[in-house]
Chain A
């Protein structure tokens, strides 16, 4: 399958790859998996005291589209509030990367990773 230029760009030069240490202040982790293709995605956000996402990291084992989707959302969530980050929809990711229908689940995975990371942050704050 031919990847779009944007997918290839993120795949070849992924942004924000890696991990924060879990102990770091304001760090939360979203972990999701797509059974259909066996992809695993970890998205970490670092939230400042003002509730704004300062930084993000990802690690994804999956196809080019899954890597590109997670790379893209690490760029998109930076500078956003948690609610703004939650408003990111998989359709926007798919559109930005011009994902074909068979790769839509990669964008769903990335959207769910944001939700999981925000949920983890809120759970930690409540503790």
Chain B
């Protein structure tokens, strides 16, 4: 591939285009731009996967096996960067979190522990229900909880997609939309954790049977 050999011969410095090589300007691209995707929560996952494979081929460290040390190190860094960017965009939760940051939204998920009481009470009750169903081996109940949660989660991601699009496109509503997006994201983080709990419980029961 021409782009790879061009940078191999050291042309990655000044003048290289943003779409070739791994010059610093390409490192500076946001993840969406890196994958030729619009800055939108709704991504075409086929396009994302295809672009990822293309970038992997183009920049695979094996291609730089005979290159100078510095060049090889950069190729490795670049491959790591592509992987991280892909993982971030692939999963809806991390994609939303990343996009929120790109749009200028702020939210300290580690420090922000105050959520609405009714939400926390409901979360606690759901966790208790899952724990009880798991210890009693009621996998049908877990399956049904999971189905409900899948539906809820889908609806909440849809809602979040709409809010993030509003934040991106409507300047006048950006601040309020970003705050609402952060709130929606916080709730989704609990739903993802609950889903992981249910899946763990189901896997554990599966092993018993």
**Interface residues of A, Cβ cutoff 8 Å to B:** 31-40, 42, 59, 61, 104-105, 108-109, 112, 116
Contact = CB atoms under 8 A, between A and B. Distances in A.
A38 B120 contact: no
26 contacts: A31-B124, A33-B113, A33-B115, A33-B119, A34-B109, A34-B110, A34-B113, A35-B112, A35-B189, A36-B109, A36-B110, A36-B189, A37-B193, A38-B192, A38-B194, A40-B124, A42-B124, A59-B124, A61-B124, A61-B127, A61-B131, A104-B110, A105-B110, A109-B113, A112-B113, A112-B114
Q: Interface of chain B, helix or strand or loop or mixed?
A: helix
Interface in B99-125: 109-115, 117, 119-121, 123-124
Given A33-B113, A35-B186, A40-B123, 11 more contacts: A31-B121, A33-B115, A33-B190, A35-B115, A37-B193, A38-B194, A61-B124, A61-B131, A61-B197, A105-B110, A108-B110
Contacts of B196: 38
Interface size class of B (residues with CB under 8 A): 20 to 34
A87 B46 CA distance: 53
A37 B186 CA distance: 10
Given A40-B190, A112-B114, A35 B109 contact: yes
B124 to A, nearest CB: 5
B124 A38 contact: no
